[in-house]
Amino acid sequence: MASPLIEIRNLSVVFDTPAGTLHAVNDLSYSVMPGETLGIVGESGSGKSVHVMAMLGLLSSPAARVVSGEVLFRGHDLLRLPERALRDIRGRDIGMVFQDPMSSLNPVLTIGRQIREVLQRHTGMNRPQASARAAELLELVGIPDPAGRLSHYPHEFSGGMRQRVMIAIGLACNPALLIADEATTALDVTMQAQVIDLIRDIRQRLGTTVIWITHDMGVVAELADTIQVMYAGRIMERGPISPVFHDPRSAYTWGLLRCMPGGAPGNGTQRLYQIPGSPPNMVHPPPGDPFAPRNRFATARCHRQVPPLRQVPGGAPGHMVAAWYDLPEILATHPELH
């Protein structure tokens, strides 16, 4: 059995806020295998961005504190590497694409220069080599006239094209791992579909491992091998796409699937459903299952004790859930929910 490319162990992150300590990421553990695409979903505030920022040493202290955990990447614990070594890994071994390319790109520098800088910093290429590679990258992400476009500024590109440029920068040094956080959220549906095709194609050609963070269950279904559903800085459910979509075991996943236009795949023409209530205040997280206050099927134990993430009994290998209740049993006794 191959070993994971990246393994997060017991990661906890807090923010010191005027209202008190905010528990953003809570004892999070998971790993990603080489070549795997992991899709991470969850409502706003579930800890998706904070945990990857923590993994990469990008949280600003002192407000944010990593209180525990290890992030093992190729045998190194990223949380304990000196800043310089971590900076070398970021951008070279781990590429990143974040939302809002307008604020990630420097408006006064040409696209060519911004790509070249990444290449020259990490690979020791000289300027002509870096220019040639930059054009190659723009071509890879489907930008027409790549060599000519190098001398253009960010505002000369459309939103979708800027997002492609960001992906080109993320892929510049052929990273083993690409982490994208809401990389297609700002794009219209057509652009989004194009970027997803692009990532699929790149993954196939280069064997890149991908962590894809999004609000959109549909994007995960199309792109990922594994889905991980997060809530209140924890994993509620995780597993291969098909069993999680067709046989969800967490009431939270089930709620998210019901929110998809048309319902979960195969559910026909269900109307759009909203999970009632809102995520917990993480300064005062609920003592038990964090979703219990919004879960009409929660038991007394759910309100009292945090359920561990464990393999679904009799479920697909790798299908894991954190729940004290048995969702299929509940659904079987509530036909009005179908």
Residues at the interface with Mg ion (CB under 5 A) = 48-49
Touching ligand ATP, residues 241-280 (CB under 6 A): none
Exactly one of 12, 26, 37, 49 binds ligand ATP (CB under 6 A); which one?
A: 49
Beta carbon nearer to Mg ion, 48 or 122: 48
Minimum distance from CB of 94 to Mg ion (Å)?
17
Minimum distance from CB of 331 to ligand ATP (Å)?
27
Beta strand 209-213 with 37-41 is: parallel
Site for ligand ATP contains 214 (CB under 6 A): no
Task: Please count the other Cβ atoms lying within 10 Å of the Cβ belonging to residue 103.
Answer: 9
Dihedral angle, C-alpha 145, 147, 152, 154, nearest 10 °: 80
Exactly one of 24, 32, 221, 327 binds ligand ATP (CB under 6 A); which one?
A: 24
# chain residues binding ligand ATP, by CB under 6 A: 15
Radius of gyration of the chain (CA): 21
Site for ligand ATP contains 15 (CB under 6 A): yes
Residue 334 and residue 215: Cα distance in Å, rounded?
28
Beta carbon nearer to Mg ion, 49 or 163: 49
Exactly one of 11, 38, 47, 55 binds ligand ATP (CB under 6 A); which one?
A: 47
User: Do residues 282 and 23 lie in contact, with contact meaning Cβ atoms separated by under 8 Å?
Assistant: yes
Look up residue 289 and give its two tokens. 């299952």
Look up residue 260 and give its two tokens. 């998809």
Minimum distance from CB of 15 to ligand ATP (Å)?
4
Beta strand 226-231 with 37-41 is: parallel
Site for ligand ATP contains 288 (CB under 6 A): no
Residue 231 and residue 48: Cα distance in Å, rounded?
9
The residues binding ligand ATP (CB under 6 A) are: 15, 17, 22, 24, 42, 44-50, 63, 215, 282
